[in-house]
Amino acid sequence: MADASNKKTVKINTKKIWLLNLPYFIKYIFGGEIFPLVAFFALGFLLMPFSTLVYLFLNPILLMMVYKLAFDVLADAARGHMSPVVRQNYLVTNAVAIKVAIIAILFEGVLFMMKRHGFDAESRFLFVVLTSFVTPAIYMSLALTNSLVVALNPLTVLKIIRVTHLSYALMVVFWVVLTMFHDVIINPFVFEHLPIFLAGVLSNFSDYIFLILNFHIMGYIVYQNRLAFDLEGMGISTAKDDDIEIMSVEVNPIHERIKMLLADDEAEQALAMIIEIQKAGDHSANVQDLYKKAMEMKFYSPSNLEIGHKVHRRLRDKQIKRAFAIVSKHVDAGQEFTEVSPEDIRQLIEYAVVANKTKYIAVLVKDYHIKYPYHADIVPNYFILAKVLYTNRETRKESEKILVGLVQKYPHDKHMSEVKAWLQGLQLMAKK
Q: How confident is the model over 118-173, as pLDDT tens digits? A: 888 899 899 999 999 999 999 998 888 878 888 899 998 999 999 998 999 999 99
> Which of 249, 201, 267, 246 has the alpha carbon at shortest distance from 43?
201
Dist CA 387 CA 143 (whole Å)? 31
Q: Is the dihedral of CA 35, 37, 42, 48 positive or negative?
A: positive
Q: What is the pLDDT of residues 322-348, one digit of tens each?
A: 889 889 988 888 888 889 899 999 999
Half-sphere CA count of 137, side-chain side, radius 13 A: 25
The predicted pLDDT at position 1 comes to 34
Cβ atoms < 10 Å from Cβ of 2: 13
**What is the mean pLDDT of the segment spanning 222-240?**
72
Query: Does residue 2 contact residue 250 with C-beta atoms inside 8 Å?
Result: yes
Question: Mapping DSSP to helix (H, G, I), strand (E, B) and coil, where does residue 124 land?
Answer: helix
Amino acid identity at 17: I
**Picking from 10-14, 230-234, 244-248, 259-263, which range would have the lowest pLDDT averaged per residue?**
230-234
Looking at per-residue confidence, does 390 or 245 come out higher? Answer: 390
- Average pLDDT of the chain is 83
Q: Is residue 195 pLDDT above 50, yes or no? A: yes
Asked if 4 and 238 touch (Cβ cutoff 8 Å), the reply is no
- Rounded-to-integer distance, Cα 137 and Cα 113, Å: 24
pLDDT band at 6 (very low <50, low <70, confident <90, very high): very low
Rounded to an integer, what distance in angstroms lies between the CA atom of residue 390 and that of residue 324? 23
Residue 191 has pLDDT above 80, yes or no: yes
Question: Would you kindly state where each structural domain of the chain is located, as residue ranges?
Answer: 4-250, 255-299, 367-432
Question: pLDDT tens digit string along 82-97?
Answer: 776 666 555 566 677 8
Helix axes 320-332, 304-316, angle to 10 degrees: 160
Q: Kindly report, residue by residue over 272-300, the tens digit of the pLDDT.
A: 888 888 887 888 888 888 888 888 877 76
Comparing 356 with 235, the larger pLDDT belongs to 356
Residue 4 has pLDDT above 50, yes or no: no
Q: Is pLDDT above 80 for 314?
A: yes
Structure confidence at residue 144 (pLDDT): 82
pLDDT at 181 over 80: yes
What average pLDDT does the segment 376-395 reach? 90
User: What is the pLDDT, as a whole number, of residue 173?
Assistant: 95
Percent of the chain surpassing pLDDT 70: 86
pLDDT for residue 5 is more than 70: no
pLDDT at residue 251 is higher than 60: no
Give backbone dihedrals phi and psi of 319, rounded to 5 degrees, phi first. Answer: -100, 65
Please list the residues that pair with 245 across neighbouring strands. 11
